Amino acid sequence: MSESQDREYEIGKIYLIDISKLMPNPEQPRKYFDEDEIKALAADIEVNGLLQNITFTCHEGKLIIISGERRVRAHKQLGKGTIETKYVKGDLLTLALMENILRSDLTAIEFAESVAALQKQKNCSNDEIAEMIGKKKSTISEILKIASLPEEIRNDARTKPLMTRERLLKVARRRRHFWRKTSRRH
């Protein structure tokens, strides 16, 4: 958004925004949206209304969803033209990552990828990330091992809620142990 358009919005203020003007965040760590869950959310919104506003920011001439993409999708399914939003300001990746890291319903893969992306974006150490998100340094090391699993494994685990951090850590350790054994033979 141009700087003058960006000034149209005040941080923390609630706005009723046309859904067609809201764009998904290209930096959104969450890649998988369960359509059945969105249908259930739409049904709940139909009965109870929107219980929590979404948040958005302005970036390169667009209104970008920071939190609440599922709620926006549910509103679209219901044929609603507008949604209540709150304006936030900051860079897309940091806003999206911090929003996702603080969620309780992320899969272990989504959480690990979010932490790894935040560390890369902020160019900080495991200690700094641990302090930033309130985890132990050893936990951050484990989380980053999960984030470094091959994409094929991460994609498979992404849609499986039973793939806990503990299970994924076992996979990561087995892969590292296997790699060490095979590299010693050569």
pLDDT at 176: 60
* Residue range 149-168, pLDDT digits in tens: 998 888 888 877 678 888 89
Give me the count of residues in the chain: 186
Q: State the pLDDT confidence band at 134, using cuts at 50, 70 and 90.
A: confident
Report the C-alpha gap between 28 and 35 in whole angstroms: 17
Tell me how crowded residue 129 is: count the other CB atoms within 10 A of its CB: 22
Spatial CA neighbour of 102 closest among 59, 64, 70, 67: 67
- Write down the residue that tokens 């948040």 correspond to: 55
How many CB atoms are closer than 10 A to CB 47?
A: 7
89-108: average pLDDT: 74
pTM flag (> 0.85)? no
Closest CA to 75 of 51, 109, 58, 59: 51
Per-residue pLDDT band at 177 (split at 50, 70, 90): low
Q: Quote the pLDDT of residue 40.
A: 93
pLDDT, residue 131, reads 84
pLDDT digits (tens, 9 = 90+) for 21-72: 999 988 776 777 888 989 999 999 999 999 888 999 998 889 999 888 999 9
Model confidence over 11-24: pLDDT tens digits?
889 999 999 999 99
